[in-house]
Amino acid sequence: MNDQKLSISGQEALPPLSIESWQHRHVLDLDDFTRDEINLVFEIAEAMSEVIARDVKKVPTLRGKTIATMFFEPSTRTRSSFELAAKYLSADTVSLDSVKSSVAKGESLIDSLRTLQALGVDTIVMRHPCSGAPYIAAQNLETSIINAGDGCHAHPSQSLLDMYTLRRHLGDLNDIKVVIVGDITHSRVARSNIWGTKALGIKLTICAPPTLLPHGLQAMLNKCGLDHVTVEHDLDVAIRDADAVMSLRLQKERQQSGLVSSIREYIHLYQLTTQRLALARPGAIVMHPGPMNEGIEISREVAYSSQSLIEEQVTNGVAIRMALLYLITGGKIR
C-alpha cells in the first residue's frame, strides 16, 4: 500500500485501521481472514455505504482499473451487486457470460481466465458451479480473483455482508448467537459464515434436517477447531435466544432428489414463521441471502416484518463489494 488515501470525495474518509495490514491478493474464502481484517473491510464498507447514500453515487477511486465479472452460473443479484460496486468506484467493467461453458471442458476454465488476464483486467470476480474453481484460477493466474461463489464451498462477500449487516444493528458481535437454517449441504453461504462467525467470536447454530447436512460436518467442526458451532435438527430448539436468524433457500430439486420428504413437511418443520421467531430474542434480526422462496423457508409475514433486514442486506452487499474491490484492486503495489 502506498501512501495514497482512500479518495472518497473531499470528506474525511480514511479508515482508522491501518490498510498496511491487508495481506490478501485474492478473496477466495474467509477461512484465512482475521478479525482485524474483517473489521477493516467493515470500516471501509462504512465509507462506501456513505457514498451509496448520496445522490451522486460515484467516486473516482478505481478510475483506470478494469474489473471483469465472469459468471459460469446464472446470477443476477451478486453479479449486479459487484458490477454496481465497480461502477460506483469508477472502474471499467467487462462482463463475461460463460454459463454455457461450465463444467467438463477441462482446461477451458484456465484458458478463458488467461485470456482475461492477457486483456489487462486487474481483478476477476468469478462465480462457478464447481467447488474450488477460483482456487484453480488463483493458482494459475497473476490477476486477483474475488470468489463470488463456488459450488457448495464458499461465498465470502455474502458472509461479509451478512456480518456487516449484523454489526450495523447490533454493534459488538462478540458472543451473539446466530442461527442458520436450511440446506446446509449445498450452501456456500453457510460454509463461509462458519469461518466468518469464528473470526468474529459469534456463536453459530446450524439447523437442518439430517439429509441436508453434510455427513462429515461434525468431524469437520472437530478437526478444524470450530467449537463455536452447534448442530441442531429441531428449529424450535435452535432458535431459542437467537440474536439473528438466517434462512436459506430450499431448492425445489431437493424434494425431487429425495433429500426432503415433501415441501409440506419442510414448511412444517423449518419455515421461519412469526410463531417460531417469537422463540428467539425479542427483536431478533431476520436475514436471507436470497433469492427467497416466500412461503417455503420463510413466511411472507416474517420476510417483510420490521425485524427483517433482507433488503438492507442487498444494499450492504454493494458497500461490502466496493470495499473488497477497493482493497484488492485499489492502492496496491505489485
Residues near other proteins, by CB under 8 A: 25-26, 28, 103-107, 109-110, 128-133, 135-136, 138-142, 150-154, 188, 191, 214-217, 219-220, 222-224
Nearer to other proteins, 184 or 280 (CB): 184
CB of 139 to other proteins, least distance (A): 5
CB of 270 to other proteins, least distance (A): 20
State how far the Cα of 7 lies from the Cα of 224, in Å rounded to an integer. 39
Q: Is the dihedral of CA 305, 74, 213, 229 positive or negative?
A: negative
SS3 99: helix
CB of 122 to other proteins, least distance (A): 16
State how far the Cα of 331 lies from the Cα of 117, in Å rounded to an integer. 19
State how far the Cα of 319 lies from the Cα of 296, in Å rounded to an integer. 29
CB of 116 to other proteins, least distance (A): 16
How many CB atoms lie under 10 A from the CB of residue 219?
A: 10
Grid coordinates given for 29? 474464502
- The answer to whether the beta carbons of residues 186 and 251 sit under 8 Å apart is yes
Grid coordinates given for 304? 417483510
Q: Is the dihedral of CA 222, 227, 228, 230 positive or negative?
A: positive
Nearer to other proteins, 174 or 222 (CB): 222
Residue reference for cell 495481506: 23
Nearer to other proteins, 107 or 172 (CB): 107
Nearer to other proteins, 113 or 166 (CB): 113
Nearer to other proteins, 111 or 175 (CB): 111
State how far the Cα of 80 lies from the Cα of 295, in Å rounded to an integer. 26
CB of 153 to other proteins, least distance (A): 3
Residues paired with 287 in a beta bridge? 246
SS3 203: strand
**Amino acid identity, residue 332?**
K
CB of 222 to other proteins, least distance (A): 8
Nearer to other proteins, 94 or 221 (CB): 221
CA angle 83, 95, 192 (to 5 degrees): 60
DSSP secondary structure string, 16-83? Answer: SS-GGG---S-B--STT--HHHHHHHHHHHHHHHHHHTSSS----TTTT-EEEEEESS--SHHHHHHH
Nearer to other proteins, 99 or 224 (CB): 224
Nearer to other proteins, 21 or 222 (CB): 222
**Amino acid identity, residue 254?**
R
CB of 78 to other proteins, least distance (A): 17
SS3 95: strand
